[in-house]
Structure 1
């Protein structure tokens, strides 16, 4: 298997799961700053020109959430539950995250981390203000749902935890309004103790975004 990545939040999710389950992957760094994601050879793997991507034999998988699920299922890891009802719970959180939480937290990340790193200009203050307004009620939802739970699915760590938490390390830098939400703070600190989440990338070849 080959896992194509760069040091961004979506790359982190895929690499962290690969490390966590000790997947037999070859890590291939795609340097976004040099436009390698737009090269014909890479577009043949992922026509969207995004990272991460995974090649597993004849299978090519584009999206970070799908890559996480595939790697966990292939490794028979509890990160992808065996119980079909829990699988639906994982999918609920992945969908909620994509449509609501990281959808808007990602806008903050893009404006405050990606733009400066790649010289894309100043933050769009209107977009930032809108994103904070949109994400704030979902921060409250997340905190309530974590009440009395170790992880999103109770005592069971899953790929959903990695997906939903991926912007939290940047909360102060990007203005993600999580201060005062104790359940989120506890959950985030707990995830930070997982070695694969602390250090997901195969080598520190570039400053992480």
Structure 2
């Protein structure tokens, strides 16, 4: 198998870490999204979405981070994707919640329009409004994540067992570190992330990302 990825990519990191944690034999091929390599003809030909990650398993290609996590977990029979119907449904629910609700406003409303020039609105007033909207909506989603999904007693998102929802959700949530968001108002999120970051391969997989975060420190971000 081969994974097309980049270590800075929010959606690549959960797949990379799952692969590392489970010692799955997968070749890593970096697609340099910071230089626009995902738009070059060679990659566009095999993934017209121009996005990473993408998994190749023989002649089978699979895109979308959450789908790849489900596929790999099923392929190796991992307990992180429970067989029990209701437990698996809960994992799917949380992953869909991150994709459909949280990431939309958190990533593409608050973080990325400030960080990446191609997502910044040309009109300063429009840009200001987009970020303000993203910030306000993100506060609501963070409260739901803190109070409902995690709560005061869960170690992880779906209870006290690590699931693929944690791999995906942690990568999305830690994207806030790019603009140095302060999570002190959300103690359950802080505790959950601390539990996840204690995993054996977190530091290695997130090394490039953490370096990128360090390079953005001190800039005038609109952050939580």
Bin for the TM-score computed over the shorter chain = 0.7 to 0.9
Residues 132-151 of structure 1 aligned to structure 2 (within 5 Å): 132-145=135-148, 146-147=150-151, 148-151=153-156
**Residue 220 of structure 2: aligned partner:** none
**Residue 168 of structure 1: aligned partner:** 173
Q: 1:46 to 1:73 in 2, by over 3 A?
A: same
**Residue 89 of structure 1: aligned partner:** 90
Deviation digits for residues 31-56 of structure 1 (CA, Å, limit 9, x no counterpart): 11332212233123211011110001
Q: 1:21 to 1:113 in 2, by over 3 A?
A: farther
**Residue 125 of structure 1: aligned partner:** 128
Tell me whether 1:179 sits opposite 2:153 in the alignment: no
Structure 2 gap ranges (5+): 214-224
**Residue 111 of structure 2: aligned partner:** 109
**Residue 157 of structure 1: aligned partner:** 162
Q: Secondary structure at the match of 1:199?
A: helix
**Preserved CA contact (<8 Å) 1:21 1:72:** no
Deviation above 4 Å: which 4+ runs of structure 1? Answer: 118-123, 203-209
How many residues end up aligned between the 2 structures?
A: 206
**Residue 20 of structure 2: aligned partner:** 19
Q: 1:128 to 1:57 in 2, by over 3 A?
A: same
Q: 1:82 to 1:75 in 2, by over 3 A?
A: same
**Residue 193 of structure 1: aligned partner:** 198
Q: What is the CA distance between 1:85 and its match in structure 2?
A: 1.5
Q: Secondary structure at the match of 2:52?
A: coil
**Residue 9 of structure 1: aligned partner:** 10
**Preserved CA contact (<8 Å) 2:113 2:119:** no
What is the rounded CA distance, in whole Å, between the counterparts of 1:133 and 1:69 in structure 2? 31
What is the rounded CA distance, in whole Å, between the counterparts of 2:159 and 2:50 in structure 1? 36
Indicate the structure with greater helix content: 2
Q: Secondary structure at the match of 1:155?
A: coil
**Preserved CA contact (<8 Å) 1:171 1:178:** no
